[in-house]
Amino acid sequence: MAGVGGGLSRRAQLFDVALALTLFAADLLLWLLGPRDMWPPSWPVAIAWLSLAYLALALRRRAVPLAVGIMAVQATVPQLVPGLGIGAAALLVVTYTVAAHRSLRYAAVATLTMWLPPVAAALSPLGQQTAAQLPIEVPTAYLLVWNAMLMLVAFFLGRAVYNRRAYVSALEDRAANAELDRQTIVERAVADERRRIARELHDVVAHHVSVMGVLATGTRRALPRDPRAADEALATIEETGRVALREMRRLLFVLRSDAEPAGELEPQPGLPGIDGLLEQIRDAGLPVELIVTGDPGRLDPGIALAVYRITQEALTNALKHAGPASAEVRLTFTPKELTIEISDTGRGPRPGLAAGEAVPGPLPVSLGHGLLGMRERINLYGGTLRAGARSGGGFRVAARIPLEPEFTAYSVEKDLLA
């Protein structure tokens, strides 16, 4: 358990000062109400010495070692010098405080530091001589047993408070962990259910889209010879498209997490936005060149967005980590695949990824989320991603996305066209 001291609030400090003044005033009142023949000859010195004990009490939680040292001296000297008194109430409160707020070892050592020196001084020849000058003779064994009882009561009362506080803190931590575990289980169950619903909605959307494709093909072929049948097929396509769109919206709603920000209203960037992206990178201080080979044709919007995001992430990483360098973006389009290659002449990769290493599975921790996002976008379209050091220095990211359709229409197309 953390000790007291620097983290003590102002209210707690004021409470300690008020407690010290109250007990000091009560001690003086008892002294004044006692027999006058018990007053020491030099009572101003005795009062000043007594106030030292309550100064330690005021510091009991703000400066524990200093309070313990003051109490040890304040309780020892009166055993050797007649006319000086011990602040017994302050000694008990400081003992309780150390036992209630510090570890067992620290509390035991501090308690013995405050209580053993006065006992040793009282048993010394000088202490025995001083005790003989007192008006009332008290057996030494009685004093030892009485002081030991007071010390043990204050000490174990403080330890009971310490253990109770530790027990309550452990219960609070356990309750917080249990609540966190319960929330994690609930979130996991919600995520699993959302994934199950998403898979079902995906099947529904895929069915509707496939039917639309088949009907569109049949309509295109039937339009010259049977316009009425073609019109009915177009109406079916229209209604099926609306249903598919509604199911797609539900699918996106299921997949969207509560922590995601609201979607942007502006259109997503694609291939036309790459020129503006490169201009921004150049303005930021990284010379970059774009080389395009082949004709992109009618590229799917999702693939065009993936090309833009991969280029953006790779150039941003080069701008951050490559240092003084230049970069090159190479896009190669063929009828079967699209190849993206972003390379720079900078410092090269961080440790954890070899030259040209493929990134098919879990990524090294040092790679961060950038390559992870690239990999997920590439995997979405059945492509591959390679990233690592270039043979001539610098870093290279290369991605391949197949452009051939991976799914064929249902075999019922012939039946629908018949």
Domain membership of residue 94 (yes or no) is yes
Same domain, 22 and 130: yes
Residue 339 lies in a domain: yes
The confidence score (pLDDT) of residue 302 equals 79
232 and 288 share one domain: no
Same-domain status, 246 and 351: no
Q: Does one domain contain both 219 and 295?
A: no
- Same domain, yes or no, for 22 and 92? yes
The residue segments making up the domain with residue 378 are 271-402
CATH of the domain at 395: 3.30.565.10
CB burial readout 176-192, b (16+ within 10 A) else e: eeeeeeeeeeeeeeeee
In a domain, 293, yes or no: yes
pLDDT per residue of the chain (418 residues) written in tens, 0 to 9: 444 555 667 888 899 899 889 988 888 888 777 666 666 667 778 888 888 888 988 888 888 899 999 988 888 887 777 777 788 888 899 999 999 999 999 999 999 999 888 888 777 766 565 655 555 566 777 777 887 888 899 999 999 999 999 999 999 989 888 888 888 887 787 777 767 766 766 676 777 777 777 777 777 777 777 777 777 777 887 777 777 777 777 666 666 655 555 555 456 677 888 888 899 888 888 899 999 998 887 777 778 888 888 998 888 888 887 778 889 999 999 988 899 999 988 876 554 444 444 444 433 333 445 777 788 778 878 889 998 888 777 889 999 998 865 433 333 333 333 3
pLDDT of 66 reads 92
Q: Same domain for 329 and 394? A: yes
Instruction: Identify whether residues 277 and 398 lie together within a single domain.
Output: yes
CATH of the domain at 249: 1.20.5
Does residue 282 share a domain with residue 238? no
Q: How many domains are contained in the chain?
A: 3
Domain match, 119 and 19 both: yes
| CA separation, residue 124 to residues 4, 5, 84, 382 (Å) | 35, 36, 17, 91
In sequence order, the 6+-apart residues with CB closer than 8 A to the CB of 369 are none
What is the 3-state secondary structure of 230-280?
HHHHHHHHHHHHHHHHHHHHHHHHHHCCCCCCCCCCCCCCCHHHHHHHHHH
Residues 357, 277, single domain; the answer is: yes
Q: Say if 418 falls within a structural domain.
A: no
Pairing of strands 337-344, 357-358: unpaired
For residues 50 and 81, the answer to whether their CB atoms sit within 8 Å is: no
Do both 241 and 362 map to the same domain? no
Q: Are residues 285 and 200 in the same domain?
A: no
Q: How far is it, in rounded angstroms, from Cα 376 to Cα 389?
A: 21
pLDDT at residue 348, rounded to an integer: 66
pLDDT at 260: 52
In a domain, 46, yes or no: yes
Which of 78, 85, 82, 69 shows the shortest CA–CA distance to 27? 85
User: DSSP 3-state assignment of 101?
Assistant: helix
